[in-house]
């Protein structure tokens, strides 16, 4: 056995420092010029160890911090060597360590402050919330691979993706960047998307660790939650994402957790992530989330976006602390080892990114396929799909002529792909004050629903777009009103066979929306249109659930979210039945705020830097549908809801227990057209009483009349409680009641399964 290094000794002493075996004499003697760590046949751990042995303390510390990679005026140009993106950690020429070129985010490669020029283009995937609504891991993986491929084509090698915080409030500004309210769904989709990004030779993050449930007062909000509640909810989503996706890095959050900033939270970073889960990658801070040098002792490995912090703690102050003995050099080595190991494991040394062209047509098809699977048909009273024989369709709504809206903030693709790079992009500044105001522009990704709808009425090969932008549109049955004045919209709808009203809600990083009401008077617009024409369909383009006071009056409601680079086309295909909708809600849709665990947003009205406690133990791990089930409240729509142009039936549920619980069930397409069902398996009761949890799901494509038997393996943690005293998961002996649901509120075929007591590691 090889001798243990100091770091290994520390690990044995119970710390969460990661170690590799010490070098053999031969390895240690090999001259640095030989770069033995470039031997691809060695494991990432071994390669990191060989490289570490050649590094000085200064060289290690240099990898532990870095700036934003954008210019702050002429005084602070973009850092030398940086491609231009969210972040940059300089490489090391002497040792051949590549720089980390870090770019946002999950939905496409961003271009912050147009740092790579206005002509730079990226494909915009739909909102992550739409991705979650697909319930389709293959779609998540292919979207991730697309983003990774585009990032590499711009010379980037770290993607700041993998947002997996649970949606706890339908006013959350960043909910569109996350994957809904359920830990299994969010964890699996995040894991698949991260895996897709990393399959291209990038490192992906998983973020924002943890319980970053509101944007309001995000730098000072203190998320208060008990250990068991946290483990069973947000942490479980992250744990599953980590197991499935193995992200090279984890980004800690801005907020505090139980009184301690997330980026210096020993309980979260050292004890949970690194010790309990055995995480071998590195923890990077969010931009401006580091408040002290002590963060390194508490588990943070790298200070990102360092201009935004009060001090570059992880540079000179760190070296001084090592020299003075207050921080062991072994901790610096451990942090460096984690970064290098993830770089080796994901190909950053062996397969550096090469700038080059992108197959935008292929990537647009990926964005479109995602949009088509994640648009949710919420209501349909026989009005959809639309026929191409309509004599007059009134399309109404702001910016429907330009494109589909996108969420704002660091994740936003502001220079989206367009066939002609010179085509101007409609971007609507929301205004405001403060740091995030300049980011608050609703960029309309240029896939206009109006053109896509009109296209259905012109002969194949002809364009529905006006040949001359100043000229009239081609003759089709489709009229357009911009929806600014309800009276004008009502007049346009009055004599039409059908009115389609598109409404949108901006949401984004930096703050929550104050309430669930649609802005810009759009409720009044819908009311006016439906009063003029009862044959009205509403297409929602929102980053959240919204109040729908008109829901009972309209004939159809389609939730299109923020639908990305081909959103307009995808919406049109769903409306006309070229695509059978198969999206299911990844969130429970409340009627209004009074049904929420926190009817008012904590800290609303307080100054931006006020410290605010957010009491998450109110719902605890009963997030979303579990809260509604526990409190016997009736939402407007349950998690998992989504209609189709066909119908499905489920039968023959059989459960099997023992050490690996699973279910099988038959699903049949009982309608006349092909379609996809999301088979959802729910727990409804356990030995302690009622309990509602999604246990497994599978999306199944079926031809009319086709039946398929699906097998649904159950992650045992979903049947368990987190036992704080025993520090692990505990399944109590007894009967577990399990059924199949078309959503979380209507679970049928419930059967009992007797399980023995069982304990599992945390
Ligand atoms: C966001 C992160 C993002 C980072 C870099 C922060 O404001 O919270 O999600 O990755 O900026 O742009």
Give per-residue pLDDT as tens, 324-341: 999 999 999 999 999 999
Lowest mean pLDDT among 7-21, 381-395, 447-461, 591-605: 7-21
What Å distances lie between residue 389 and 386, 393, 455, 478, CA to CA?
Answer: 9, 10, 13, 11
Q: How far is the CA of 286 from the centre of ligand 1 (A)?
A: 6
Residues 6+ apart with CB under 8 A from 449: 395, 400, 404, 502, 539, 567, 568, 571, 572
Tell me, what's the pLDDT at 608? 82
* pLDDT(661) > 80: yes
Cβ of 287 closer than 6 Å to ligand 1, yes or no, is yes
Answer yes or no: are the C-beta atoms of 17 and 7 closer than 8 Å: yes
Tell me, what's the pLDDT at 127? 98
What dihedral angle (degrees, nearest 10) is formed by the CA atoms of 453, 458, 464, 468? -150
Tell me, what's the pLDDT at 421? 78
Q: Is 14 helix (H, G, I), strand (E, B) or coil?
A: coil
Mean pLDDT of 52-81: 94
**What is the rounded CA–CA span in Å between residue 586 and residue 129?**
7
Q: Which atom of ligand 1 is nearest to the CA of 208?
A: 9
Cβ of 410 closer than 6 Å to ligand 1, yes or no, is yes
* pLDDT(29) > 70: no
Cβ of 102 closer than 6 Å to ligand 1, yes or no, is no
Tell me, what's the pLDDT at 19? 56
**What is the rounded CA–CA span in Å between residue 51 and residue 607?**
48
* pLDDT(222) > 70: yes
Tell me, what's the pLDDT at 22? 62
**Which of 287, 413, 437 most suits a substitution to test ligand 1, by most atoms within 8 Å of the C-beta?**
287
Tell me, what's the pLDDT at 11? 36
Chain Cα centroid distance, residue 572: 25
- Reading the block at residue 211, the tokens are 């319980």
Cβ of 86 closer than 6 Å to ligand 1, yes or no, is yes
Tell me, what's the pLDDT at 490? 98
**Which of 286, 414, 509 most suits a substitution to test ligand 1, by most atoms within 8 Å of the C-beta?**
286
Average pLDDT, rounded, for the chain: 95
**Beta-carbon count within 10 A of 152 CB:** 24
* pLDDT(492) > 80: yes
Query: Among residues of the chain, what percentage have pLDDT more than 90?
Result: 90
Burial (Cβ within 10 Å: 0-12, 13-18, ≥19) of residue 311: middle
Tell me, what's the pLDDT at 204? 99
Q: How far is the CA of 60 from the centre of ligand 1 (A)?
A: 24
Give per-residue pLDDT as tens, 500-558: 999 999 999 999 999 999 999 999 999 999 999 999 999 999 999 999 999 999 999 99
Give per-residue pLDDT as tens, 159-218: 999 999 999 999 999 999 999 999 999 999 999 999 999 999 999 999 999 999 999 999
Instruction: Give the chain's radius of gyration (CA, Å).
Output: 26
Answer yes or no: are the C-beta atoms of 722 and 227 closer than 8 Å: yes
More confident residue, 292 or 76: 292
Cβ of 344 closer than 6 Å to ligand 1, yes or no, is no
pTM of the predicted model as reported, rounded to 2 decimal places? 0.96
Q: Which atom of ligand 1 is nearest to the CA of 254?
A: 8
Cβ of 178 closer than 6 Å to ligand 1, yes or no, is no
Tell me, what's the pLDDT at 436? 78
Answer yes or no: are the C-beta atoms of 674 and 109 closer than 8 Å: no
**What is the rounded CA–CA span in Å between residue 214 and residue 456?**
41
Q: Output the residue whose Cα is nearest ligand 1's atom 3.
A: 410
* pLDDT(444) > 70: yes
**Which of 89, 160, 254 most suits a substitution to test ligand 1, by most atoms within 8 Å of the C-beta?**
160
Lowest mean pLDDT among 6-15, 589-598, 693-702: 6-15
Give per-residue pLDDT as tens, 613-652: 999 999 999 999 999 999 999 999 999 999 999 999 999 9
Mean pLDDT of 707-714: 98
């Amino acid at each position: 056995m090889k001798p243990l290094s100091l770091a290994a000794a520390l690990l044995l002493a119970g710390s969460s420092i990661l170690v590799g075996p010490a070098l053999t004499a031969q390895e240690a003697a090999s001259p640095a010029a030989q770069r033995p760590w470039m031997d691809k046949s060695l494991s990432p751990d071994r390669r990191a160890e060989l490289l570490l042995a050649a590094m000085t303390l200064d060289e290690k510390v240099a990898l532990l911090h870095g700036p934003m990679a954008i210019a702050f005026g002429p005084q602070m140009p973009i850092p030398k060597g940086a491609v231009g993106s969210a972040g940059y950690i300089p490489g090391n020429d002497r040792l051949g360590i590549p720089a980390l070129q870090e770019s946002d985010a999950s939905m496409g490669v961003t271009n912050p402050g147009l740092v790579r020029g206005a002509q730079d283009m990226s494909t915009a995937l739909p909102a992550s919330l739409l991705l979650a609504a697909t319930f389709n891991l293959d779609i998540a993986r292919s979207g991730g691979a697309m983003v990774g491929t585009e990032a590499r084509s711009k010379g980037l090698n770290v993607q700041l993706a993998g947002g997996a915080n649970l949606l706890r409030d339908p006013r959350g500004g960043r909910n569109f960047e996350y994957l809904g309210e359920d830990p299994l769904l969010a964890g699996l989709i995040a894991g698949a998307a991260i895996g897709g990004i990393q399959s291209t030779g990038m490192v992906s993050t998983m973020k924002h660790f943890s319980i970053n449930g509101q944007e309001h007062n995000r730098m000072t909000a203190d998320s208060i939650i008990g250990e068991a509640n946290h483990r069973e909810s947000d942490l479980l989503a992250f744990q599953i994402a980590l197991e499935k996706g193995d992200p090279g890095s984890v980004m800690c959050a801005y907020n505090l957790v139980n009184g301690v900033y997330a980026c210096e939270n020993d309980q979260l970073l050292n004890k949970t992530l690194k010790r309990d889960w055995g995480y071998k990658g590195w923890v990077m801070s969010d931009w401006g989330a580091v408040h002290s040098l002590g963060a390194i002792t508490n588990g943070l490995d790298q200070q990102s976006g360092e201009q935004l912090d009060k001090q570059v703690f992880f540079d000179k102050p760190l070296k001084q602390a090592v020299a003075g003995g207050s921080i062991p050099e072994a901790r610096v080595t451990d942090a460096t080892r984690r970064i290098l190991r993830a770089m080796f494991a994901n190909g950053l040394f062996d397969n550096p990114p090469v700038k080059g062209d992108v197959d935008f047509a292929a990537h647009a098809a990926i964005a479109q396929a995602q949009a088509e699977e994640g648009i949710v048909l919420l209501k349909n009273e026989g009005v959809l799909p639309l026929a191409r024989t309509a004599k007059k369709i009134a399309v109404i709504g702001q910016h429907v002529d330009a494109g589909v809206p996108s969420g704002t903030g660091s994740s936003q693709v502001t220079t989206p792909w367009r066939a002609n790079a010179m085509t101007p992009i409609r971007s609507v500044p929301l205004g405001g004050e403060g740091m995030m105001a300049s980011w608050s522009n609703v960029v309309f990704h240029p896939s206009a629903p109006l053109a896509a709808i009109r296209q259905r009425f012109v002969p194949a090969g002809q364009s529905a777009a006006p040949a001359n932008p100043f000229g009239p549109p081609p003759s089709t049955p489709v009229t357009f009103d911009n929806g600014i004045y309800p009276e004008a919209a009502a007049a346009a709808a009055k004599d039409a066979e059908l009115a389609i009203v598109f409404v949108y809600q901006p949401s984004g990083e930096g703050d929550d929306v104050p309430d669930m009401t649609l802005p810009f008077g759009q409720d009044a617009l819908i009311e006016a249109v439906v009063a003029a024409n009862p044959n009205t369909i509403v297409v929602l383009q929102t980053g959240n659930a919204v109040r729908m006071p008109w829901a009972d009056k309209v004939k159809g409601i389609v939730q299109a979210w923020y639908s990305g680079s081909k959103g307009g086309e995808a919406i049109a295909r769903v409306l006309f039945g070229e695509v059978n909708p198969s999206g299911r809600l990844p969130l429970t849709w409340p009627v209004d705020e009074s049904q929420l665990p926190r009817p008012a947003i904590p800290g609303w009205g307080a100054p931006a830097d006020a410290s605010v406690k957010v009491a998450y133990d109110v719902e605890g791990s009963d997030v979303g549908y579990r809260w509604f089930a526990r409190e016997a409240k009736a939402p407007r729509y349950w998690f998992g809801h989504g209609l189709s142009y066909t119908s499905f039936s489920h039968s023959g549920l059989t459960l099997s227990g023992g050490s690996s619980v699973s279910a099988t069930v038959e699903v049949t397409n009982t309608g006349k057209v092909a379609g996809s069902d999301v088979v959802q398996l729910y727990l409804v009761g356990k030995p302690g009483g009622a309990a509602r949890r999604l246990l497994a799901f599978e999306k199944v494509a079926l031809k009319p009349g086709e039946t398929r038997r699906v097998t649904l393996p159950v992650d045992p943690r979903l049947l368990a409680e987190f036992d704080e005293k025993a520090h692990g998961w505990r399944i109590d002996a007894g009967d577990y009641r399990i059924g199949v649901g078309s959503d979380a509120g209507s679970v049928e075929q419930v059967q009992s399964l007797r399980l023995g007591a069982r304990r599992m590691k945390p």
